[in-house]
Structure 1
Amino acid sequence: MGVFSALTTAVSGMTAQSYALENISGNIANSRTAGYKRVDTTFADLVPDAALNRQIAGSVAAYSQSTNSIQGDLNPTRIDTNVAINGDGFFVVDQRSSGVGANTQFANKNLYTRRGDFDFDANGYLVNGAGYYLKGLKIDQVTGQLIGTQPDVLRITKEQFPAKATTSIEYRANIPAYPKTNNADSAVAGSELLSSTGFASNPLSTTQGGTGVVVGSDMTSFLSQSIPGGSVTVYDTLGKATSVELRWAKTTNASAGPPPTTDTWNLFVAENTGATGGAVAYRNVNSSITFDATGQMTNPAGGNIALPTMTIGGTTVTGINLTTGGNGLTQNGDVSGQIDARSIRQDGYTAGTLDRVSVSAEGQVIGTFSNGQVVALAQLSVARFNADNSLKRLDGGAFEETIESGPPIIGLGTSQLVGGSVEQSNTDIADEFSKMIVTQQAYSANTKVITTAQEMLTSVFNIIR
């Protein structure tokens, strides 16, 4: 029976090599498929049970060997929504089951893929080239916290980002110890100070016995006794913009003797620079701002200055604090005699629409809006497996969880996401052709065994002739 066994063994060898060639063919066919993981072939011998001194080599069986853990090259695409995983892990995706547009229904089943060529469809869903929909968690744009715990299909629409009223102006500047106003004369003591003399309405703060306003008829005198402090655009609750112009005037010097023991300034905000007569042109914040001998601000405590409620160009400005951070506003000598404003920034903005979307290394979907705001919109879900080579392969480069793979572990771990890139196939064409030559030779050798076995059987049959 040895010759017949040789025939059977040779057939199993041909079958195994055919199986290997099929895998090689698939790998070469998918050498340019994004996220594709090649399938290698492993062989196992099949030994029949026999006595120790009668054991034979036996036949062979071929099995698939996955390479899901072997990463392909990352190829930049310059498409912001394309993303690749540098390290372990799979994107969590889903399939459409029915419906179209906003009424699309999904299978609600987690599948996994390394194919990251995601792009927006007409309805704001992120879909890859194989038709799988990206899943993740939405992020609350106000609190920045994740919404929910289970990955869901992400839909990012170009809805308007609401306006935010300005509540704080960060102001960091140095005020000159000697302001060079138009009236300042080094030969005349106190000429650099704001005086109530000659004003129809005393512009000093109410804490210093003044009215706290500058009227239109006093504009020329006021501008000659104060220096500009910069301006900033602020927004109301509807996102309407208006410009807030600041102006500083020194009211007392510490050198005047006790009291006072500190330098004192008044801060004014322009309400209507075109005012005439008794109409209000500038409004005092009504807070005496003082500095000690080292140039550090001593009042108000904490460095926050509340701006007065006023109407500027038809827009009501209210509830805004000028924040200096305690040491952001100083009074030091400056040869220019002018305000050195290092930073004037506010926290409000107008309404905006979504301009572009990108993906950060941590997996956050970042939205850039037309109003300049950059906001995290969603968190991509990335799943890792203890045995990712045991996942079941599906069409389109997707995988399905199995008992052998274990449950998914959600989280990037030590991996990173690379936005604007796509992972390529991990197939090595040169290696596949080398395996093809070996496979062809092995197949041919098995056919030779069959030919030899046939000749031997022919010789046996000829004995009886």
Structure 2
Amino acid sequence: MDLFTALQTSVSGLQAQSYAISNISGNIANSQTTGFKRIDTSFVDMMSETTPKREVSGSVLAQSQLTNTIGGNVVSSSVPTNMAINGNGFFTVVQKTGDSNGAATFSGTNVYTRRGDFSQDKDGYLVNGAGGYLTGTNLDPVTGQATSTGLIKLGNSSLPAQATTAITYAANLPATPATTASATSGSDLYNQLPAAVVLTGTGQTGVSVPSTDAGTFVNNSIAGPSLTTYTSTGAPVTLSTRWAKVQDASTTPAQPAVWNLYYASDPSASANATSWQNVGTAFTFDSTGKLTSPATSPVSLGAVTVGDYTYSNLTMNVGAAGLTQYADTSGAVTTNTLSQNGNSAGTLTSVAVGDDGKINGTFSNGSVLALASVGIAQFANPDGLKADSNGNYLQTADSGPALVGLNGSTITGASNEQSNTDIATEFSKMIVTQQAYSANTRVMSTAQTMMSDLLNVIR
């Protein structure tokens, strides 16, 4: 290497350190930018000669080293639609391109970002602080099915009234029920009324216990599930039920334990003053307490009339092991699960983002339902993405195609991911860069002195 090459090499060193200080300054400037990923600098040596035993260090090349896979700290936010990704992945967003005839127009190209400070704009779309509009799947809150893909729009959603059509129920019925009549009748069986109002097998039709016999019925039964159901207009109706054991299990003669379920026909009357309708199904249990009949679920309760409203085909889902008959010292029903699928009309009061990326809405009627699913993309090589302004990244050949879904990552709602820039580290790199830059200037001045000495030889 001659003196002129040394000068050129020192110039490349100055350029490389200038490139490094540029990245450092950008990192420090964006230390408070939401979702920013710092850019480090790596240096590549370039050999001027590679002949064996004559290898000479040459110029240096500075290159950017992305840190897209390194997450920043996650901090809480007061905005419920702010969100941060825990793990790998990027939010899928599009950019607004303008307004046409009073409607916003958007770019058809997806870009990707870690900036999750999303909030609703005037039209109900979710947009982050850099102008990226969040995409994903909009869901029907009633059915949970997808209604559209693309821009997520919340707005002022409303929930229509829905009549109750199904009840989900799981409970243990006591092997020896404690009824009011148990102590005096010497039996825990409901055997005080005509056989016409009880069912012990299949092929029978449930008969109503008249209100005149309601007192006897209540004394020989135990309280079952009681819940609020809804009519087609969203009016609440209280459905009160009672369980009656109508047959004990025995080996001689061989017979299973049988229970009947009844509901109060008049929700406004007391238990002793209303008629009680048999739902028309015999629930049988074997000697181990396992439900043997009905063998399928859900169980049809038929047309259920409560007050002046009739549920045309109400069903009860007890699952594979939802109903059991085990010994219980209390002698009462132990309810494990009780819910129904109806609701009154409601308006959206608040939203929250779940770990699974679902945006859930809370409605004025108490229902919590999914409104949308956030669009998330992952890449085989995230550091191969091309960065642009506004904290966005573009897919490249080096990054590979976008893989849709969280794939093991989670979402934290009401939170923001901070920049992954560490000020102390950047200051340390700044000192080293400044020293390296100064050293390269000394090389230039030394090479210049040596050339001056060489020229002085011929004077």
1:247 is paired with a residue whose SS is strand
Instruction: Report % sequence identity.
Output: 44
Alpha-carbon contact 1:177-1:331 (below 8 Å) kept? no
Deviation, 1:419, is: 3.9
Give the whole-Å Cα distance in 2 for the aligned partners of 1:321 and 1:43.
71
Alpha-carbon contact 1:205-1:285 (below 8 Å) kept? no
**1:442 and 2:442 aligned:** no
2:376 is matched with 382
Deviation, 1:412, is: 3.5
2:88 is matched with 88
Q: Which residue identity lines up with residue 399 of structure 1 in the other structure?
A: Y
Q: 1:71 to 1:50 in 2, by over 3 A?
A: closer
**1:117 and 2:117 aligned:** yes
**1:174 and 2:168 aligned:** no
**1:423 and 2:417 aligned:** yes
Give the whole-Å Cα distance in 2 for the aligned partners of 1:324 and 1:409.
39
1:437 is paired with a residue whose SS is helix
Alpha-carbon contact 2:192-2:216 (below 8 Å) kept? no
CA RMSD in angstroms, aligned pairs only: 4.5
1:229 is matched with 224
Deviation, 1:97, is: 0.8
**Number of matched residues?**
454
Q: 1:77 to 1:45 in 2, by over 3 A?
A: same
Deviation, 1:362, is: 4.0
Taking the TM superposition and a 5 Å limit, the aligned residue runs for 1:334-413 are 338-413=332-407
Give the whole-Å Cα distance in 1 for the aligned partners of 2:399 and 2:225.
63
Q: 1:289 to 1:402 in 2, by over 3 A?
A: closer
Taking the TM superposition and a 5 Å limit, the aligned residue runs for 1:260-299 are 261=255, 266-272=260-266, 281-288=275-282
Deviation, 1:246, is: 1.4
Which of 141, 154, 157 aligns to 2:155? It is 157
Taking the TM superposition and a 5 Å limit, the aligned residue runs for 1:321-340 are 321-325=315-319, 328-330=322-324, 338-340=332-334
1:195 is matched with 193
Give the whole-Å Cα distance in 2 for the aligned partners of 1:254 and 1:3.
107
Q: 1:280 to 1:419 in 2, by over 3 A?
A: closer
Return 436-445 or 49-58, whichever deviates more.
Answer: 49-58
Alpha-carbon contact 1:72-1:426 (below 8 Å) kept? yes
Deviation, 1:113, is: 1.5
Return 338-347 or 425-434, whichever deviates more.
Answer: 338-347
Q: Is there any run of 5+ residues in structure 1 with no aligned partner, and where?
A: none
Taking the TM superposition and a 5 Å limit, the aligned residue runs for 1:30-45 are 30-44=30-44
Give the whole-Å Cα distance in 2 for the aligned partners of 1:142 and 1:178.
39
Give the whole-Å Cα distance in 2 for the aligned partners of 1:392 and 1:190.
76
1:24 is matched with 24
Deviation, 1:106, is: 0.8
| Greater gyration radius | 1
Return 296-305 or 23-32, whichever deviates more.
Answer: 296-305
Q: 1:451 to 1:144 in 2, by over 3 A?
A: same
Alpha-carbon contact 2:385-2:394 (below 8 Å) kept? yes
Alpha-carbon contact 1:183-1:192 (below 8 Å) kept? no
Deviation, 1:319, is: 1.3
Deviation, 1:133, is: 1.5
TM-score, normalization: structure 1? 0.77
Post-superposition Cα deviations, 1:5-35, rounded to whole Å, max 9, x if no partner, equal 6555544433332222222111111122222
Give the whole-Å Cα distance in 2 for the aligned partners of 1:65 and 1:383.
22
Deviation, 1:244, is: 1.0
1:106 is matched with 106
Deviation, 1:242, is: 0.6
Q: Is there any run of 5+ residues in structure 2 with no aligned partner, and where?
A: none
Post-superposition Cα deviations, 1:217-255, rounded to whole Å, max 9, x if no partner, equal 444454445443342211223332211111344556678
Post-superposition Cα deviations, 1:378-433, rounded to whole Å, max 9, x if no partner, equal 33333333443333221121122334444333344454444444333222322222
Q: Which residue identity lines up with residue 110 of structure 1 in the other structure?
A: N
Q: 1:438 to 1:363 in 2, by over 3 A?
A: same
Q: Which residue identity lines up with residue 208 of structure 2 in the other structure?
A: V
Give the whole-Å Cα distance in 2 for the aligned partners of 1:123 and 1:192.
62
Post-superposition Cα deviations, 1:54-78, rounded to whole Å, max 9, x if no partner, equal 9975554533333333333344446
1:98 is paired with a residue whose SS is strand
Give the whole-Å Cα distance in 1 for the aligned partners of 2:85 and 2:448.
55
Give the whole-Å Cα distance in 2 for the aligned partners of 1:209 and 1:52.
101
Give the whole-Å Cα distance in 2 for the aligned partners of 1:132 and 1:281.
62
Post-superposition Cα deviations, 1:127-153, rounded to whole Å, max 9, x if no partner, equal 2222211222334556656567xx622
